[in-house]
């Protein structure tokens, strides 16, 4: 029942909305909601603050996904912006099937009644009067968070939040004011304050004007964008200028043909004006199809690949970064891209580099990140022409084991304590089918074919044994706050390579999987102002200059 409203939104007439004629302040409008670039719905809302301070919000929304239509109505009343919430009502129709929720606050306790057909279940949550309601999929409620944030104080501010439809409390939601800037909407550019909201499990960027009206919300990890329709506030003359790495690097667009003649597009960078044959790095990206700069169409979060590798390239290295298969300008089918395909793509790129007149073939290095680090190990076993491997957060276990850990960790963040809940995750379902049906090649999941070869290769991985076979110099770097390849996955490598003269390990305790300063939450991946740590870049560059 906790997941009842995880994706829902409901139709009820707004004719009974409270008149704003006596309101001290009113914010009203319509949000257009897109997912993966496709419009999936809209949310019409109103927020009024009465002369006496009472706050009332109402919304009506409709969302359509494939064969499912979800309609949603909400109404919330609060004593004032500082709280507490008095009552909350949510009514939902999923393909015309009604569900509902009602909540009332009294003396430090929120009583929630969940209704489904004739069944009613009561739940109680302990909250403080200052707790802010932020229900899942009810986007206008973020106005409450923005209004509570004090621009005068600034910095990072902390809030207690309740998610009624998920029957949980989020103890520490962090909000940071980032900038006052231009934000693009469908009808032009407008000036707005940009905030980053870290909910622990989800990170959001919110733009709101000087009156606190939200213009846009981006939730990259959900691939959702919420944008105000027909907004007409303070216009900006143009978009913010794009910041690029400084002009002391020369860059060259390149195209590589892999083993199956697929064209892989990328960029070669090197310090401008540096002559001769240079020590050379081939970058191998983390999991998921990404372009050469670290952008993914599946979750539009830039992980900092370009900034990291350009900073290292400036230290005297030629660097090749490629668009992964099916990403950016590269050809290829993402669904059919297995680890062995990635190994062969990397090998083709190395062969390409060795033929360049500005590459020193005796000083070749693979620079792998996450899954790319594990691919680098697999390539290193097969080739004897590599002088160096730089491994950022490789996993010492099969990636199938890591996937289960990640699922369990995410469920824990969401408050799901069922020890068997992970088995119903889509990845877990696919892995189980791949494991138990050895002759089956694929299954259709979400209307798309999912091929089993990738998962069967995950099962067969032996990363620690493979690393022991490699003669190249190895730098292994791990972030202590990594929530994708958890820090203990460095232990197998460290134990196996203890005392090996070609192995160096370095831990950065306060950095995450992308080697950015960490708050210890997955949501920070969406934070646009977090940059790759300069101390980390300096250490890796210095090690490379001494060993490559």
Write down the pLDDT at residue 238: 58
Q: How far apart are CA 42 and CA 242, in angstroms?
A: 30
CA 537 to chain centre: 22
Cα R_g (the chain), whole angstroms: 26
Domains of the chain: 23-228 (no CATH), 249-397+462-547 (3.40.50.1820), 402-453 (no CATH)
Q: 460-511 pLDDT, tens per residue?
A: 999 999 999 999 999 999 999 999 999 999 999 999 999 999 999 999 999 9
Q: How far apart are CA 58 and CA 47, in angstroms?
A: 7
SS3 of residue 97 by DSSP: strand
Q: 239-294 pLDDT, tens per residue?
A: 543 333 445 889 999 999 999 999 999 999 999 888 889 999 999 999 888 899 88
Q: How far apart are CA 234 and CA 189, in angstroms?
A: 9
Write down the pLDDT at residue 13: 31
Burial readout 464-489 (b: 16 or more C-beta within 10 A, e: otherwise): bebbeebebbbbbbbbebbbbbbeeb
CA 323 to chain centre: 19
Write down the pLDDT at residue 24: 66
H-helix or E-strand containing 182?
A: strand 168-185
Sign, Cα dihedral of 371, 377, 378, 382: positive
Q: How far apart are CA 110 and CA 166, in angstroms?
A: 13
SS3 of residue 348 by DSSP: helix
Q: How far apart are CA 212 and CA 197, in angstroms?
A: 15
- How many CA atoms lie within 13 Å of 432's alpha carbon, on the beta-carbon side? 9
Below-50 pLDDT ranges, the chain = 1-23, 240-246
Q: 46-89 pLDDT, tens per residue?
A: 999 888 889 999 999 999 987 888 899 999 999 998 889 999 99
Structure tokens at 250: 């020369």
Burial readout 234-262 (b: 16 or more C-beta within 10 A, e: otherwise): eebeeeeeeeeeeeebeeeebebebeeeb
- CA triple 272-277-280, angle to 5 deg: 80
Sign, Cα dihedral of 452, 456, 458, 463: negative
Beta bridge mates, 46: 28, 58
Instruction: For 206, list phi and psi in degrees, rounded to 5.
Output: -125, 130
């Amino acid at each position: 029942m906790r997941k009842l409203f995880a994706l829902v939104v409901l139709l009820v007439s707004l004719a009974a909305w409270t008149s704003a004629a006596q309101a001290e302040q009113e914010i009203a409008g319509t949000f257009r909601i897109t997912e993966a670039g496709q419009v999936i719905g809209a949310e019409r809302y109103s927020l009024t603050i009465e002369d006496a301070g009472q706050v009332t919000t109402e919304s009506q929304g409709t969302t359509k996904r494939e064969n499912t239509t979800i309609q949603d109505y909400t109404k919330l009343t609060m004593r004032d912006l500082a709280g507490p919430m008095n009552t909350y009502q949510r009514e939902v129709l999923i393909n015309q099937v009604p569900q509902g929720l009602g909540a009332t606050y009294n003396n430090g306790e929120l009583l929630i009644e969940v209704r489904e057909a004739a069944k009613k279940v009561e739940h109680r949550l302990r909250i403080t009067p200052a707790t802010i309601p932020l229900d899942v999929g009810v986007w206008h409620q973020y106005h409450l968070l923005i209004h509570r944030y004090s621009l005068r104080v600034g910095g990072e501010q902390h809030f207690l939040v309740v998610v009624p439809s998920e029957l949980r409390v989020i103890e520490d939601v962090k909000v940071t004011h980032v900038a006052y800037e231009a934000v693009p909407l469908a009808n032009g550019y407008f000036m707005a304050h940009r905030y980053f909201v870290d909910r622990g499990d989800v990170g959001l960027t919110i733009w709101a004007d000087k009156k606190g009206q939200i213009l846009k919300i981006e939730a990259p990890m959900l691939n959702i964008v919420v944008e105000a329709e027909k907004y007409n506030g303070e216009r900006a003359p143009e978009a913010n200028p794009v910041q690029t790495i400084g002009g002391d690097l020369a860059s060259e667009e390149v195209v590589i043909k892999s083993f199956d003649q697929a064209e892989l597009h990328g960029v070669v960078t090197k310090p401008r004006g540096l002559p001769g044959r240079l020590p050379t790095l081939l970058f191998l990206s983390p999991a998921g199809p990404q372009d050469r700069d670290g952008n993914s169409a599946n979750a539009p979060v830039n992980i900092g690949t370009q900034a990291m590798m350009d900073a290292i390239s400036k230290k005297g290295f030629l660097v090749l970064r490629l668009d992964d298969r099916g990403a950016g300008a590269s050809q290829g089918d993402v669904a059919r891209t297995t680890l062995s395909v990635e190994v062969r793509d990397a090998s083709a790129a190395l062969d390409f580099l060795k033929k360049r007149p500005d590459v020193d073939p005796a000083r070749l290095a693979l620079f792998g990140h996450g899954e790319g680090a594990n691919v680098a190990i697999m390539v290193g076993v097969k080739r004897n022409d590599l002088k160096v491997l730089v491994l950022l957060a490789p996993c010492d276990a099969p990636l199938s084991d890591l996937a289960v850990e990640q699922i369990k960790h995410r469920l824990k963040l969401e408050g799901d304590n069922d020890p068997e809940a992970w088995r119903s995750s889509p990845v877990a379902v696919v892995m189980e089918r791949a494991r138990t049906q050895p002759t089956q090649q694929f299954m259709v999941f979400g209307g798309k074919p999912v091929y089993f070869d990738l998962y069967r290769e995950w099962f067969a991985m032996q990363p620690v044994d493979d690393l022991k076979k490699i003669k190249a110099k190895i730098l292994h770097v791990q972030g202590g706050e990594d929530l994708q390849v958890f820090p203990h996955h460095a232990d197998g490598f460290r134990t196996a390579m203890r005392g090996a003269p070609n192995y160096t390990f370095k831990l950065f305790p306060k950095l995450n999987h992308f080697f950015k300063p960490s708050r210890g939450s997955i949501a920070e991946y969406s934070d646009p102002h977090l940059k790759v740590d300069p101390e980390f870049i300096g250490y890796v560059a210095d090690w490379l200059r001494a060993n490559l």
